[in-house]
Structure 1
Amino acid sequence: MLGALGTVWSLMGLADLAQEGHLSRTNFRGELIPTGMGVSFLLGSCLGLLAGLWMGLYQIRDVVLLIAVLFGFGFLGLIDDLWGDDAHRGLRGHLRVALQGRISTGFLKAFYGGLLALVVALSVRGKEGLLMNTLIIALATNALNLLDLRPGRCGKSFLLGSFLLFTIGEARALRLLLPVVGGVLAYLPWDLRRVVMMGDAGANPLGALLGIGIISLEGSVRIFSLLLLIGIHLYSEKYSLSRLIEDNPVLRFLDKLGCD
């Protein structure tokens, strides 16, 4: 509840601030909309996590880790939201620019995001399966970013992923996601109405949290998830995920659900 309330309160102030500061981007319809507004549910989620810590629901180590993940990946995403160049998209695009001697914000986000994923993987699972766990977090982080091209798509993907994790994962560990789920639910109507855009500041932390949820699982689920994430990235380098979603009736229905 506190996560949702904190999100709404933050969102109202941040949206006005973004408009006054001209922190807007053009969406798929050509509309100029405040971007980077995922910061709102990061703030709301932190409020919920701290309240849970105060009530004895969470351990301080877990709360510190999640807050670090939210703001670490959120900060890297916000840099790309504010100063990123849309002319260079995809992992190959950023790598090609780097090989030409120019460093894009997307490349910096990928590099430091990879380092952050490594630190988080070590913190969560130690050295066990370190490479696989790091890749899962890093690829999940970018996968949500790849989906953030239509209103509500990234938020709904996070909620669906969280639901799946709750059904097969450890309840004690995954209940840490509840303040974030509450924050995203409060934020989502604004995104669906095209009032604000989540941006990388919101998509990246959500993906990282799903990655953490995945590596908390055992064996075959982690391997399957890694292969799925690799497949998504390879597909997106050559084809359009939006076209894939549009051509599939079930995915199209979910994608349009709640949109104006």
Structure 2
Amino acid sequence: MTSTEMTPTAMTRMTRPAPGGTSSTAARVLAVAALGAVAARAAYAAATRRPPGLNGKPGDEVWGRTNHRGEPVTLLEGPAFVAGAAAGGLLTPGLGGRMRAAALLAGTASGVLGGYDDVAGTTSSRGFKGHLGALARGEVTSGAVKILGIGATGLAAAAVAGSPAPTRTGRAFDTVVNGALVAGSANLMNLFDLRPGRAIKVGLLTGTPLAMTGSRAVVAAPLGAAVALLPEDLGERAMLGDTGANALGALLGLAATRLGRGPRLAVLAGVAGLNAASEFVSFTKVIQRTPALNWLDMLGRRPVAPPAAGPQAGASVPAQPGPADSEHTADPAP
């Protein structure tokens, strides 16, 4: 057996709960989630106390943005999430070495690529169509770099995690499917980071069922970090940005790769379908028009401000430089 192969027995040992029963497993998951939460809060406090600058620009300018109310928010929630998820993942008990390495790679690399888009991105191109269209014209946008980089990251993380398929062809197929699931989930989560708390709520709704499966060790720390940072997001003081949203999505996608092949293909179809739909449909408008989704979206948020009176009522709020498709300002779909 080569270093990239894994037997079904080894995979089972990696994902099954340790002896001690359901209550013991739940206690370990909660402990890891708490570790991720503490690490994320500590990282956020340190980063906001002294925001890191870049190329001579002060940190507040690098990481500061203006939200849909015209109020300042910081993107440092994203790096704090990546730090919390990574710290918790490194110390998670019961997580095999390959999956631990895959989680570190998926979360950290996706976060770094998202961070590059956060600080270097522009609003000239949006979505897959915009960025890849610009690339076809010879223009390399930060979004195109991120799309290609996260695609490569997904495949690399899938290869590191391994597959229990008994044949080389089966393992290659699983690697491609799993890589697409990681990359597609990373991009999809970023599409929900358009209003306060929305991306984290989506992450909790999708991650909680995974925490009840053999993927619990993968998602415990990210979910803990997300919950710890949710008050900052809902309070409109901070946001995940591409850094945090891409990392959260990638880790949830990696957790979903531990499902059986049938459920995995179904999840991938859903992820791919939503990514494709985002090029033509505004998720925000769909949520606003669906009472149950709108209620959940507004849960814990400040009420929407009424339109200002006078001729300026329809004017948009100017935002500081940064990628609009990762801010709480506007939906990237046409």
- What TM-score does the superposition give when structure 1 sets the normalisation length? 0.91
Shift of 1:106: 0.4
Q: From 123, 144, 152, give the equivalent of 1:115.
A: 152
Q: Is 2:236 the counterpart of 1:194?
A: yes
Deviating 4+ runs (over 6 angstroms): none
Q: Is the 8 A contact 1:18 1:24 kept in 2?
A: no
Q: Any idea what the Cα deviations from partners look like across 1:125-152, whole Å, max 9, x if unmatched?
A: 3424333222221111100011110111
Amino acid at match of 1:111: L
Contact 1:45 1:180 in 2 (8 A): yes
Give per-residue Cα distances to partners, 1:34-73, cap 9 Å, x unaligned.
1142111221222223333xxx543333323222222111
Match of 1:234 in 2: 276
Q: Taking structure 1 as reference, are residues 48 and 132 closer, same or farther at Cα in structure 2, changes over 3 Å only? A: closer
SS across alignment from 2:111: helix
Deviation at 1:235?
1.5
Partner of 1:63: 100
* Residue identity matched to 1:237: E
Give runs of aligned pairs for residues 170-189 of structure 1, distance below 5 A: 170=214, 173-189=215-231
State the secondary structure of the residue aligned to 2:77.
coil
**Identity of counterpart residues, as a percentage?**
31
User: Which amino acid counterpart does residue 75 of structure 1 have in structure 2?
Assistant: V
Q: Is the 8 A contact 1:121 1:130 kept in 2?
A: yes
Unaligned runs of 5+ in 1: none
Distance across 1 between alignment mates of 2:121 and 2:172: 34
Contact 1:36 1:78 in 2 (8 A): no
User: Which residue among 86, 91, 100 is the counterpart of 1:46?
Assistant: 86
Q: Distance in 2 between matches of 1:185 and 1:11?
A: 13
Partner residue in 1 for 2:330? none
Aligned residue type for 1:25:
R
Cα distance between partner residues in 2 of 1:176 and 1:235: 28
Whichever residue aligns with residue 91 of structure 2, its letter is: A
Do the aligned residues in 2 keep the contact of 1:155 with 1:188 (CA within 8 Å)? yes
Match of 2:148, as an amino acid?
Answer: F
How far has the Cα of 1:225 moved from its partner? 1.2
Distance 1:48 1:97 in 2: 38
Count how many residue pairs are aligned between Structure 1 and Structure 2. 254
| Unaligned 5+ runs, structure 2 | 1-33, 53-57, 164-170, 303-334
AA at the equivalent of 2:42: W
Which residue of structure 2 aligns with residue 154 of structure 1?
A: 199
RMSD: 1.8
Letter in 1 for 2:87: L
Name the SS for the 1:238 alignment partner.
Answer: coil
Q: Which structure's residues are more often helix, by fraction?
A: 1
Choose 189-198 or 26-35, whichever is displaced more: 26-35
Q: Which amino acid aligns with 2:200?
A: G
- Contact preservation (8 Å) 1:7, 1:45: yes
Question: What is the SS of the residue equivalent to 2:73?
Answer: strand
Deviation at 1:158, TM superposition (A): 0.8
SS at match of 1:33: strand
1:209 aligns with 2:251: yes
